[in-house]
Structure 1
Amino acid sequence: MKIAGHDITPAELRRRTGDTSSVAGIRQVVLDNGVERGVRAIELRTAAGLEIDLLVDRALDIGDARFKGVPFGWRSGNGYRHPGLHEHSDEGGLSWLRALDGLLVTGGLDHTLFGGEVDATRYNYPPKQTVSHGLHGRVTAIPARLLEAAEIWSGESAVLRVKGEVIQATAFGEHLRLTRTYEVDFDGHELRIHDVVDNLGFEPTPHMFLYHLNFGWPYVDEGTEFVAPITKHLWQSDSVAEQGASYRLLPAPARGFVEQVTEHELVAGSDGLHRVALLSADGESGVEVSWDASTMPNFFEWQNLRDGQYAVGLEPSSHHVGGDGASREDGSMTFLEHGESREYRTTIRILQGSAETAAVRSAIRAIGPQPD
């Protein structure tokens, strides 16, 4: 393993410390103030300087994210609200925005994107003819059941692994399970996410899934470059034409900026992965996100560039921007039968130095072009 500039074996490391958690490890904590009070969290720290906070009571999403003390995850100001404070149906279904905070906010499990009312007669419960969805669904406000939080040592290496499950269920409705696993190498600077969603119920159940991956300052700043292999823009919010901010080179924060959202059609690499990156203006730092294109073929770029909210969201998605109703109409909705599942694999990698950022830019450019 590479630790503090030294190549060292686990045996030699143990000779030099009574507890390897002095170098890297896992710690379980409970947040205890304000709207976060009572929220369980798990801190992952690697010897390379990657620090990830996992929010057990918020669907095992990702909260704070730092590398060598520098944040790359976005903080909105909402705080990591206890799920008991969540207001699913308020504000016309937009109250999800009050829970939007941290590096990863998951959308799903039966609905993502903007809300609405859809048919529910498949559940065969006469009083429930329809179901109403809010923005990005219910899962983010459901606590996880922690299954594992452990260091896994094997030969000359080790990984830190956290695993949990989230059940989204109601009588006479969906009964879906998200089994979520995170892994980081003991001395690594990338985070691997493995999610499996399966149907525990006995009716065919709609399933949609989205990662709202939110990156903030200083990884997002004036001149930050968004790099992706894009064939065309499938959809853009009206604000793109009205404001004209570049989707490729980010401007500075602006007072009253209206969010810009673009659905990009990406080209997958020969390995079956989609790859995108955010690269700093000086090329000295960046972050690359890659994921399985077969289960998340769609992708949105969210630009929230207003003062006090400055962020870019990179959003792999199982479905297009129209959401539940549109997916049912065009036949693209996923319906899971009893025992059927969908699997999602994603990697978030921190880039260090101009050589790494240049290599990632070249690798993405080799996959496909990128429109101006």
Structure 2
Amino acid sequence: MSARDWYGDAVQQSTSHLRRRTGDLAAFAEIREVVRSNGQERGVRSLQIRNADGLEIEVLTDRAFDIGDVRYRGVPVSWRSGNGYRHPSLHEVESEDGLAWLRTLDGFLVSGGLDHALFGGEYDATHYHYPPKQTVRHGLHGRLSSLPARLLSVDEEWQENGGVLRVRGEVVQATSFGEHLRLRRTIEVDVFGSGFRIDDEVENLGFERTPHMFLYHINVGWPVVDEGSEFHGAIQRHVWKSDSVDEQGAPHDRLIAPERHFVEQVWEHELSAGQDGRHRVALLRSDGNFGVEIDWDASAMPHFFEWQNLREGQYGVGLEPSTHHVSGEAAAREDGSMIWLEHGESRTYRTSITLLDGPEATAAARSRVQSISRKEATA
């Protein structure tokens, strides 16, 4: 039963209706500031956002303003790896041959960037004009997720018809004689609704020409991820797939049950954009009762990966919009597709996530994706 079923139609029309029935609108929707106090998460600040329709998301202030837990009407949506939301002081971004990023991988959104994403390596750094620094070494998906954010604002904008819960933060990734990039992130949740929006701006504050790569590792877990769950996207072609796909044979569009020792499978799908210029994908339970839909600006993040981690105890799927191909930084530098930001230049990214509750909602999402595929087929 939805919140509106309990509150009545008037709740959609008038905030004054609610004010007459409570002494504090936080009874229905609020943003709560929390600091964890135990274990590896001790000291991690977060913002818990809860709206009147039962949507709850957690913004991890000290984890690059990424998103941890997501629930809708009590149903968990985000994937949990077991790592926990470790305090950034515990991260060792250059250890384990560049794979230490995997110790930060937990929750709904883990961002990759800002000057590097995808697999690591050693790259030319002469563009920084510092003779002792001829090269720079990057680990998997860069340094961003291990950086704490600065909280800029918390706003609960109650309007006569609904309103918006909004938080803003910024993360600066900088080093002397190297990159000086700033991410400003705004996350909005409508007081009533089943979705939220992420608006990002990345700006080069430095005076040296700087590479920029950006990726959203959006991680979904059980019960959305389950045997028979379906992936939907307007796929033109499969650009790339990991060797494990041929070895294991799990399909990209229908999930298998958790499997012992499953090796992650990664696909790069070339997607068609809708008439609105946005890519759109959906992950739906086979029974049609629940799902997640994601849409984003196709020109800003033209590439997309599907990460299948269907191992027992790690069971989840990553839906990953990206600025660059899976081939990574070396290939992007060689073929000219690397994004370079001069001083003061910036790029913006706008993404929407909608949680789909019930057969009507999942059917509508499936139809939206299929309409893009049909348009492409007749073009």
Task: Give your verdict on TM over 0.5.
Answer: yes
Structure 1: where are the runs of 5+ without partners? none
Residue aligning to 1:258: 263
Residue aligning to 2:164: 159
Q: Is the 8 A contact 1:51 1:66 kept in 2?
A: yes
Residue aligning to 1:268: 273
Quick one: distance in 1 between partners of 2:91 and 2:5?
Answer: 41
Quick one: distance in 1 between partners of 2:5 and 2:118?
Answer: 42
Q: Select the residue among 96, 102, 113 that pairs with 1:91.
A: 96
Quick one: distance in 2 between partners of 1:324 and 1:194?
Answer: 24
Q: Is the 8 A contact 2:16 2:160 kept in 1?
A: no
- Displacement, 1:352? 1.6
Quick one: distance in 2 between partners of 1:255 and 1:363?
Answer: 35
- Displacement, 1:187? 1.3
What TM-score, normalized to structure 2? 0.96
Indicate the SS of the match to 1:271. Answer: coil
Query: CA distance change for structure 1 residues 3 and 140 in 2, over 3 Å: closer, same or farther?
Result: farther
Q: Is the 8 A contact 2:15 2:159 kept in 1?
A: no
Quick one: distance in 1 between partners of 2:372 and 2:6?
Answer: 35
Residue aligning to 1:325: 330
Poorly superposed stretches of 4+, deviation over 4 Å: none
Residue aligning to 1:356: 361
Q: What is the CA RMSD across the aligned residues, in angstroms?
A: 1.3
**In the alignment, residue 253 of structure 2 is paired with which amino acid?**
R
Quick one: distance in 2 between partners of 1:71 and 1:232?
Answer: 32
Quick one: distance in 2 between partners of 1:325 and 1:250?
Answer: 32
- Displacement, 1:284? 1.1
**Which aligned pairs between 1:14-29 and structure 2 lie closer than 5 A?**
14-29=19-34
Residue aligning to 2:130: 125
Structure 2: where are the runs of 5+ without partners? none
Indicate the SS of the match to 1:226. Answer: strand
Indicate the SS of the match to 1:16. Answer: coil
Quick one: distance in 2 between partners of 1:28 and 1:242?
Answer: 46
**Which aligned pairs between 1:49-88 and structure 2 lie closer than 5 A?**
49-88=54-93
Quick one: distance in 1 between partners of 2:145 and 2:180?
Answer: 16
**In the alignment, residue 222 of structure 1 is paired with which amino acid?**
E
**In the alignment, residue 8 of structure 2 is paired with which amino acid?**
H
Residue aligning to 1:346: 351
Indicate the SS of the match to 2:331. Answer: helix
Quick one: distance in 1 between partners of 2:153 and 2:317?
Answer: 31
What TM-score, normalized to structure 1? 0.98
Indicate the SS of the match to 2:20. Answer: helix
Check if 1:279 corresponds to 2:322. no
Identical residues among aligned pairs (%): 64
Residue aligning to 2:6: 4
Q: Is the 8 A contact 1:263 1:321 kept in 2?
A: yes
